[in-house]
Structure 1
């Protein structure tokens, strides 16, 4: 399996013409996008990607043997060839995507929602090695970039953040990184490096697997349970970041008061800061899940398939809107694959509603929503019970899937709840394992 990772190295020296370089590159992309939109009927007839690209380049670039149809070289003189080709590729992709979306829109017959061709997009220049990017001396946190100073393309020395330069060789040692791309985030400039790795995911048999079942929540960020196929629980952990959430909710309160007094016209900066806090909370939660799974040598990380559709209402609708459940799972999936762990998802219906001991539906506490009461009178943490059920559903599915139909029917007759996956709980896994052992012994 191939995974692609990226890391942004912050540029410390800011008095370099990075803004002018980004502007001239985006102007070139916008100009090329307008050109290729005009001649797309001619370009779309060329099926081969390489020939289409060469034809598009000949339209705008003058050589001894080629006369360009458009004045791109006059508008953007001395632009490095690699940067010009990157802009051509980006413009061709934008026009091709627009034409595809326009064709799909016409087929639907809907009058509203016509796609638009965006010429001034947020394209980022790529600095190819040796011709636009050179590494500094060994042991020094510096590099050399070819930038546009408003008149000409010149080499500039840039200083890079030391902690970032220490991270790359420590975590990507022996891996080939791609050419860096310049990007701007929060008024700072970064060099974004990408690395492609070939990883082999674990192929441990189901009966020998150790899984980490994760219940993502709002009150508690995540509850993890380490479990074996027979239902043995090897470990439990509650992952929560109360100080980070308190800081975010405090900023939300400030926004609420500001909007009440002054309206919502000047709250963009406050909302941007809140979103950054929320993103950082998701990163910390995903990192903590991966570290715990790695500490316990988990083969698979199991999540719920969380799909929330329709309008969200109620007093907790803002918390639900800010809940980065998909982003956490996406980050965990990428990091887990790098560590050769697999990711699996199960149906989320009734995982929190049903008690793990098979006693039936639980009653949530009104004051503390994380606690619940079983029908037997037992008080328990609802998220922990849900994490048991998540792991049990994964094992029930994986244990029954490869069995012959006759053997599976026999086990389903002895343990009826496993027929319907949305009602399976942890107690059903224990019963299923016992019946499988008896059937094996017989």
Structure 2
């Protein structure tokens, strides 16, 4: 069975001021219905919660919506307040209300059973004022043009539901792939702009096995160091990825935070919130650029595996209090780059793998032993033989070699942890071990 993933595109809506007001009215009316439905679902949850998923929505509709077969309903308010409400909008609201109540009941039962973050934790509350958005079902709430450059959306005018035509821009490439199935988009409207959140069900292809991998070393001085390591130990490509301009923009704002903090006594809540927000946005942009470049290299050389160090949960230790080094550690992007690369590469059929991190940077790739870091330039490593080399580049070689040996079935001392201690220290996996395996390949 081919694995399928859901990816969401953001399609901007080009609309007049009047059309934006109608779209905002539609979202407001939808949320009003959701607030009313949450109370109904909560009241009858003892019955609704026991039903199967495909029978819950019809059960709620029988309580609020009068038909020829169901003339007597329990809540007539919905027939007068939400007159002519489209059926698919109503079912989307019911589905969200059921999910909201189900989540509350689950969390409340956990709180009653004693599963709490703190002993004095307050019980969860049912939130009815939720900021949800309406789903737009095909041909019922939205109709796209053949070129997807425009769409008709059913909106609420205040007294009736009508169709309006708006422009759609900002497409990506997912809708051009015939294997990708477009699902019902969501109408996202706020005070500044409005857009469609369009999910696609993607059928991933499987990449063929290759005799090389892309190994990545993530660092502070250099954002990412990439190497194409072959199974015979040769290196086909090496590259340093370090968007210096964006990093300077981020660090400039963080320095302004430090300067203002040094001139201020007691820091209040929300101190320099705007600068932190801008620095965080720049950091997100850096993560997108670096991950996109890594995926591009992997596609260029046709590899299947992108290999990182397993650094999840690792917290760096370094830098004095209020120092710039500690601030740089806080803005390190090792998890963001890994997550973005994993999402992008898995969509193309590749895999992201991880190896044990210890020893990759502190051991020379040629097997000569431990390296010494230069006190003036921390990126420079001096091998025991006197050779000088980039430490991050050497680490990327070792990362690739460590994964290749594991893939070939070799027992890496770092991956296999024995229960008994050995008399001599175990050797670290370096690129030189692949060189010794050349005759057997």
Query: For residues 177 and 374 of structure 2, what CA distance do their matches in structure 1 show?
Result: 48
On the 8 A contact 1:209/1:299 being kept in 2, the answer is: no
On the 8 A contact 2:287/2:336 being kept in 1, the answer is: yes
Query: For residues 190 and 406 of structure 2, what CA distance do their matches in structure 1 show?
Result: 44
Does residue 150 (structure 1) correspond to residue 158 (structure 2)? The answer is yes
Does residue 241 (structure 1) correspond to residue 247 (structure 2)? The answer is no
Does residue 83 (structure 1) correspond to residue 104 (structure 2)? The answer is no
Query: Residue 109 of structure 2: SS of its match in structure 1?
Result: helix
Label 1:339 to 1:309 Cα distance change in 2 as closer, same or farther (>3 A): closer
Does residue 274 (structure 1) correspond to residue 279 (structure 2)? The answer is yes
What residue number does 2:310 align with? 305
Q: Residues 71-110 of structure 1: matches in 2 within 5 Å?
A: 71-108=77-114, 110=116
What residue number does 1:182 align with? 187
Query: Residue 244 of structure 1: SS of its match in structure 2?
Result: helix
Query: For residues 152 and 163 of structure 2, what CA distance do their matches in structure 1 show?
Result: 6
Structure (1 or 2) with the greater helix fraction = 1
On the 8 A contact 2:380/2:390 being kept in 1, the answer is: yes
On the 8 A contact 2:363/2:369 being kept in 1, the answer is: yes
Per-residue deviation at 1:313? Answer: 6.2
Label 1:268 to 1:227 Cα distance change in 2 as closer, same or farther (>3 A): same
Query: For residues 14 and 350 of structure 1, what CA distance do their matches in structure 2 show?
Result: 60
Q: Residues 32-431 of structure 1: matches in 2 within 5 Å?
A: 32-46=37-51, 48-66=52-70, 67-70=72-75, 71-108=77-114, 110=116, 111-113=119-121, 114-136=123-145, 141-161=149-169, 164-165=170-171, 167=173, 171-173=176-178, 175-184=180-189, 187-204=192-209, 208-257=210-259, 260=263, 263-265=268-270, 267-309=272-314, 314=319, 315=323, 316-400=325-409, 423-431=428-436
What is the TM-score with the length of structure 1 in the denominator? 0.84
On the 8 A contact 2:345/2:351 being kept in 1, the answer is: yes
Query: For residues 227 and 191 of structure 2, what CA distance do their matches in structure 1 show?
Result: 37
Label 1:180 to 1:109 Cα distance change in 2 as closer, same or farther (>3 A): closer
Q: Which moved more, 1:82-91 or 1:127-136?
A: 127-136
What is the TM-score with the length of structure 2 in the denominator? 0.84
On the 8 A contact 2:9/2:171 being kept in 1, the answer is: no
On the 8 A contact 1:221/1:239 being kept in 2, the answer is: yes
Per-residue deviation at 1:154? Answer: 2.2
Query: What are the ranges of 5 or more consecutive residues in structure 2 without an aligned counterpart?
Result: 417-423
Query: Residue 11 of structure 1: SS of its match in structure 2?
Result: strand
Per-residue deviation at 1:236? Answer: 0.6
Query: For residues 144 and 253 of structure 1, what CA distance do their matches in structure 2 show?
Result: 49
Label 1:184 to 1:354 Cα distance change in 2 as closer, same or farther (>3 A): farther
Query: For residues 272 and 359 of structure 2, what CA distance do their matches in structure 1 show?
Result: 39
Per-residue deviation at 1:105? Answer: 3.4
Query: For residues 226 and 316 of structure 2, what CA distance do their matches in structure 1 show?
Result: 29
Query: What are the ranges of 5 or more consecutive residues in structure 1 without an aligned counterpart?
Result: 403-407, 409-415, 438-442
Number of corresponding residues:
414
Per-residue deviation at 1:147? Answer: 1.8
Query: For residues 102 and 304 of structure 1, what CA distance do their matches in structure 2 show?
Result: 39
Per-residue deviation at 1:203? Answer: 4.4
Query: Residue 160 of structure 1: SS of its match in structure 2?
Result: strand
What residue number does 1:440 align with? none
Label 1:322 to 1:122 Cα distance change in 2 as closer, same or farther (>3 A): farther
On the 8 A contact 1:3/1:334 being kept in 2, the answer is: no
Query: Residue 319 of structure 1: SS of its match in structure 2?
Result: helix
Query: Residue 237 of structure 2: SS of its match in structure 1?
Result: strand
Q: Which moved more, 1:276-285 or 1:316-325?
A: 316-325
Q: CA deviation digits over 1:398-428, x for unaligned, max 9? A: 11269xxxxx9xxxxxxx98x77xx322222
